[in-house]
Amino acid sequence: MKNKKSGNSFTRRGVVLGGTAAIAGATSVFAQSKSVKAQEPISIAQNQSQSRNNILEGKVALVTGAARGIGRAIAVSLANAGADIAAVDILQDIQGHSVPMATTEDMTQTKQLVEQAGKRFLSLKADIRDLAALKNAVAQTNQQLGAIDILIANAGINSNVGFTTTDETAWKNHWDIVTDVNVIGTANTLRAVTPSMVERKTGNIVIVSSTFGRQGNGTNPAYVASKWSVIGLTKAAAIELSEFGITVNAIAPTAVRTGLGGSQTEQQRAESNEWLQANYHQLPVGLLEPEDIAGTVVFLASPAAKYITGTTIDIAAGANARYTA
């Protein structure tokens, strides 16, 4: 497909392979390269400009993939709304996955932003593929911050290995790792947190999917399948947990500047923005910022959304207007 504005050949596949423009939801990854400019972290000054309210005062929120990207933005926004934050991240690379994971330095930046909002912060290193590690993280949160009221299942990864690859090892690794993190890891997260919510008969859960969980895309079938899967997981959990007063919803973000598939040069970023505006988004915007996603999560975690459950909200700049249903 050619860009309608410039006539340059630039496809949605190119947006995804470009890295930061990957049309995706959950992100806990950030490629670093000497030859490309890395994503700039959210600054303290930016955090100061965010509005604050007390809609979640006294609540405790656990956020996975919280060290950077969308997870960080969500954690900071929840803190600005009054919640104390338990931040979970793997904080080490995943064997067989080419994109570097978040670091302890990334988590320190998240901590600074949350504490600047005047809220308590607990850093927890855990791999969401490890249910025992998640249960330990929940136990630490209960002990140090109190019972978890809000769960944001955000952590996830992407990998571009399509059906046409001739590398069978890459194919198997692609499916194994992406499925283990995005599907089983998300299920593990709910499995670890929900027992205390069930016991207290209250809780709000938000799962981060993607617009690719609402439509198809080439080159990364395991990622697409995983994001469709977590929407099904959202609905199943919403039905099972509703009798305990627990809401479970998902969000489906469009392309966000996070580094899900790696970093971009300035030229790549400009091309991504141009393509998105011309061919994908209905609103006049290119890549969204992580902070653009966080407000919807705060809403779903708040009393204002107490009768919303089992649904998926698209944060897609109108890309979702092209869905068939």
What residues act catalytically?
223
Rounded to whole angstroms, how far apart are CA atoms 247 and 313?
Answer: 14
- Give the full edge-to-edge strand order of the sheet including 84-89: 121-125, 84-89, 60-64, 150-153, 203-208, 246-253, 312-315
From the number of C-beta atoms within 10 Å of its C-beta (0-12, 13-18, 19+), residue 304 rates as exposed
Q: Which residues pair with 150 in a beta bridge?
A: 61, 204
Q: Which residue has the tokens 């410039």?
A: 6
Sorted by sequence, the CB contacts under 8 Å of residue 272 that are 6+ apart come out as 15, 18, 20, 21, 255, 264, 286, 287
Among the residues of 50-167, which ranges form H helices?
Answer: 69-80, 104-116, 131-144
Q: What distances in angstroms separate CA 55 from CA 227, 230, 290, 305, one per listed residue?
A: 29, 27, 21, 12
